[in-house]
A and B are shown apart, each in its own frame.
Chain A
Amino acid sequence: MKIVVPVKLVPDLVEELLIDESGTALDTTWLSLILSEFDDHAIEQAILLKERDGAQVTVVVPDVEGADDVLFTAAAKGADRLIRLVGPFEPTVNNHALARAFAPVVRELQPDLVLTGVQAHSDLDGPVGPQLAGLLGLPYVGYVAGVRVQGDRCLVRKEHPGALLAEMEVALPAVLGIQAAEEPPRYVAFSKIRQAMKTAAIEEWPVDELDPSGGPAVRRLFQPEVGERATMLEGDVDEIATRLVGILEELGVLA
């Protein structure tokens, strides 16, 4: 079985997000990027399938800052092939452009399964997975938390609201949007990543042009109005706890 995991990097929300002078885009000068959380789950699910059923796992990432770290970390976890798309990628490249850049790689590799993160927080133009499926003419199921491969089909558990699961049978090849891997993404020690840096090879895949059409143009990017923000309780921990107890008493929940 062959599995391809195309991943993207997103702004790290632990850092402050600054808007550039145009007022329409993120200021990328100090922007730090990390692997999208759901893509981390997609990589984990691929490795779990490899361990269970045997598979060749290929991780593909666009060439932005941090791409090599993502690939070497994936290798340390068990990914077999590492591909970096080399082209004019900006940190804020949209998903229509990304999906079009991933599509030829997936076509060439002819995987049985393509696993993507179900969403990323920066998906202004929708997640990558369904678009990739549309470009390749493959079926797509998202919100997946559980995959079993059986011959030329797979059984997936899809999460609906209210903790309701739908078990669906999907003909392969297919694209799945992973909500959660069956196990939490594993931790790998830095020594293993360093070892991967020495032994694993990154293949480069040239992308001449990016086509972002299909993503909306942004006229204004702004922080949400903070008119109705919480009343912030100040003081030391003891004072705050005392205020909170007072609030809870007023609400009548301490009776």
Chain B
Amino acid sequence: MHQEIYVLVEHLRGQVAEISYVMLAAAQELARGTGGPVVALLLGHDAQALAQDLAADRVLYVDHPALAEFTPDAYQRVLADLMERKPPRALLLGETSVGADVAGRLSAQLGLPLVGYCRTLRADDGTLTFVSQICGGRLMAEGELPAPTALVTMIPGGFKPEQGRSPHPPEVIPEPAPSLEGLRITLKQYIEPEEEDVDIAKAPILVAVGRGIQNQDNLPLAEALAEALGGVVCASRPVVDQGWLPTTRLVGKSGKRVRPKVYLALGISGAPEHVQGITDSEVIIAVNTDPAAPIFDVAQYGAAVDLFDLVPVLTEKVRQARSAPALAAA
């Protein structure tokens, strides 16, 4: 049986993505079971410096101009070549715009089993176990990690990224790249996020709206509450997809990670893609008519009521509370 645990290091524009460290922490747990090393796979061009804080036993570094920035075709070719020449026990990739682009293709092309939405990996008595979070966070699926080689795409939440960082730079071993001629996907340019009116990543108070807001005409309700609180309105994916708020207000996997003092989630179910962006909030308060909504698993306070009933009353009470001390002082 293969022993190595591979981790694909994700990086964009010279920044290693946090999920890479989460996966390195997960790989350490698996390696405890296999007795094998944790091997980070770094694909890039003049990117060796990105390896320095990776908590891995060694780094296989593939350098090629076509790997300077992520493109699915080039990454997939390099990984397919590596997996065939040096198959590991598992290759961990992010359930992200990088990892998920290549994992499924590798699975089909190489005939390797794939476990998606994986949150936790465990090594108990030589058995490697995965736990995946599916159905919008409503269900967990547990099983044995397929052998002899498995592909795994991981979501954050099960491991602390700090465990994937190390003050001691790992050994970096150059690996040859396969032919990267005739690539069918090329990066033309990055397009920066549009100029922002407010930066939700820095806002101390956020009023977030989800599908439960129902339509654009109801947004002023949330805006009034945000204004009363001195906060800003942000949103989950469905609201931005409808064009009701700009993408600069999007919180979650494809939007921003926020870290406010208070995150007030209105009509948000708490799908994992959204929750990924809010876990650094100091306090999460959720309002949703469905008492079983996963958002209540991450919130500290919850109310299973209709936001349309609660928000106007809450807004008024907040206004009163904020003006009361001023009146008292006068």
Contacts and interface: CB of A to CB of B under 8 A. Distances in A.
Contacts of A254: 229, 318, 321-322
Given A121-B135, A125-B116, A224-B133, A171 B302 contact: no
B308 to A, nearest CB: 10
A235 to B, nearest CB: 9
Contact of A164 (B73, B190, B284, B292): B190
A49 to B, nearest CB: 18
A163 B229 contact: no
Interface in A118-157: 118-119, 121-135, 137, 139-143, 155, 157
Contact of B188 (A126, A168, A216): A168
Interface string B9-48: 0001100010000000000000000000000000000000
A134 B106 contact: yes
A230 to B, nearest CB: 3
Contacts of B294: 224
Contact of A131 (B96, B107, B290): B107
Interface in B165-217: 184-194, 204-205
A219 B132 CA distance: 12
Contacts of B223: none
Interface string B93-113: 000111011111111110111
A233 B287 CA distance: 10
A247 interface: yes
B71 interface: yes
Contacts of B17: 161
Interface residues of A, number: 90
Contacts of A130: 100-105, 107-108
Interface string B286-310: 1000111010111111111100011
B49 interface: no
A227 B314 CA distance: 28
A165 to B, nearest CB: 4
B142 A124 contact: no
B283 interface: yes
A109 interface: no
Contact of A155 (B105, B113, B188): B188
Contacts of A171: 184-185
Of B115, B190, B313, the most chain A CB neighbours within 10 A belong to: B313
A189 interface: no
A222 B190 contact: no
Contact of A163 (B115, B255, B321): B255
B236 interface: no
A189 B105 CA distance: 38
B269 interface: yes
Given A165-B191, A232-B302, A251-B261, A245 B104 contact: no
Nearest to B186: A169
B187 A167 contact: yes
A134 B134 contact: no
Given A170-B185, A214-B112, A217-B144, A232 B291 contact: yes
B141 to A, nearest CB: 5
B6 interface: no
Interface string A1-15: 000000000010110
A163 B248 contact: yes
Contacts of A41: 241
Nearest to B256: A162
Of A11, A130, A251, the most chain B CB neighbours within 10 A belong to: A130
A19 B184 CA distance: 43
B61 interface: no
A131 to B, nearest CB: 4
A168 B310 CA distance: 45
Of all A-B residue pairs in the complex, the 3 with the closest CB atoms, nearest first, are A134-B108, A130-B104, A230-B302
Interface of A: 11, 13-14, 16-17, 19, 26, 37, 41, 95-96, 99, 118-119, 121-135, 137, 139-143, 155, 157-171, 174, 177, 179-180, 183-184, 213-224, 226, 228-233, 237-238, 240-242, 244-245, 247-249, 251, 253-255
Given A158-B97, A213-B113, A223-B140, 14 more contacts: A119-B100, A123-B116, A133-B108, A141-B185, A159-B254, A160-B98, A163-B254, A171-B184, A180-B241, A242-B317, A245-B321, A248-B321, A251-B282, A254-B229
